[in-house]
Amino acid sequence: MTATDQDSTMRITDHPMPPFWIRVLLGIAMIIAGFMVLGDVVFFTVISTMFIGWMAIFAGGFEIVHAFWTKGWGGFLWQLVLGILYLAFGIVLITQPAISAMILTYVFGLLLMASGIVRVLIGISFWRQAGWLMLISGLFGILAGLGILTGFPATGLWVLGLLLGIDLLSHGISWLAYAWQPTTRAG
């Protein structure tokens, strides 16, 4: 008689599978976040823009102060320039919504493509454990990223929130499906 704990089952890569409750929690959290974003796509795009802007200003200010603190270490000019660039980027994000949307559109497109590629690779690795759902989710991420990067649409704050919300929903659904897949156990 053999007893196997589902939460400690090893996969092809010899890495332990995340516990069932973590897979479910991750799926539910992503679905809730997706619905929140879809509830007001413009609001969440603006909030994201403002948050990134303030973080860039904070990082730029710290980089400038750090450049003066460590002036004798070398690289003073590069640290100062980097800090100024961070500050400028943050100020643009906060004060110029049209330019901010364009900048974030391209950054978001790149991030969606990278996330999609990772999910496709995970889907292929875990094909027998509902990996095809993760693969579909990854393909959507890649297509959404390509849509953004090719200029569809170049403006409009609602597009970023819409794509983020849909991507979060599809990613959450794929995690839930993965969590409830029956596991193959060797006896």
Beta-bridged to residue 155, according to DSSP, are none
**Contact by Cβ (8 Å): 6, 129:** no
pLDDT reported for residue 97: 66
Neighbours of 113 (CB within 10 A): 19
pLDDT in tens, 1-60: 444 445 445 455 566 778 888 989 999 999 999 999 999 887 887 777 788 889 999 999
User: pLDDT value at position 153?
Assistant: 63
Rounded distance between C-alpha atoms, residue 151 and residue 174, angstroms: 28
Q: What is the reported pLDDT for 136?
A: 92
Backbone angles phi, psi at 17, to 5 degrees: -70, 140
Average pLDDT over residues 151-174: 78
Mind listing the pLDDT tens digit for each residue in 70-127? Answer: 877 778 888 899 999 999 989 988 888 667 767 777 887 888 899 999 999 988 988 8
- pTM metric for this prediction: 0.55
Residue 183 is given by DSSP the state P
- The answer to whether 53 and 91 are in contact (CB under 8 A) is yes
**Residue spans of alpha helices (H) in the chain:** 20-39, 41-69, 76-95, 97-125, 131-149, 157-179
Whole-number Å distance between alpha carbons of 179 and 23: 5
